Amino acid sequence: MLVNVYITGLNQIFDVEIDRQNKPYLPIPSGRLSLTSAWIVVLSSLFLAEAVTMCFQPPGLPYLQLALLSSAVLGSAYSAPPLRLKRFPFLAAFSIIVVRGIVVNMGFYAFIVDALGIAGEVPAGRSVLAATFF
């Protein structure tokens, strides 16, 4: 959830000028949240996501961290210059599909399977099929 706050918050920060016209009711364009405060929330969310995983160090931690890091990197590439993938329809759609459809589903699946100690009990083909249609 914290990485999602980071990704969506970053998008709102970089889209503030567009949102002033299209979505003036959002917190930043409406003035209810300053850009400085938005940056604090966004960066704190990213930091806390890593801090929480490091504090508890659950089994399957590498899978969880890889899913969180990959999501954050692709979310940044989607919204932030210089890449700002959202400018290109195919790359925008592809980055969303990769994060929401593959990274999150497969990363958290691998994390849970490892954390529960049931690796190898679910056929890999079945889990890929489930992630594809989730």
The length of the chain, given as a count of residues: 134
Mean per-residue pLDDT, 29-43: 97
Using alpha carbons only, give the angle 28, 34, 39 rounded to the nearest 5 degrees: 95
What is d(CA 74, CA 35) in angstroms, rounded to the nearest whole number?
22
| Percent of the chain's residues with pLDDT above 90 | 63
What is d(CA 74, CA 67) in angstroms, rounded to the nearest whole number?
11
| pLDDT for the residue numbered 67 | 93
In this predicted model, which residue has the larger pLDDT, 58 or 62? 62
Mean per-residue pLDDT, 5-31: 96
| Axis-axis angle for helices 2-14, 35-56 (nearest 10) | 160
| Structure token pair of residue 113 | 């399977």
Q: Considering the chain, what is the average pLDDT of its residues?
A: 90
Residue 60 pLDDT class (50, 70, 90 cuts)? confident
Mean per-residue pLDDT, 80-96: 96
- 49-58, 75-84, 107-116: which is most confident: 75-84
Residue 111, CB-side half-sphere exposure with 13 Å CA sphere: 17
pTM higher than the cut 0.75: yes
- Torsion of the alpha carbons at 108, 63, 81 and 14, rounded to the nearest 10: 40
Residue 75 and residue 12 in contact, taking contact as beta carbons nearer than 8 Å: no
Tokens 């009711």 locate to 25
| Percent of the chain's residues with pLDDT above 70 | 89
What is d(CA 129, CA 100) in angstroms, rounded to the nearest whole number?
15
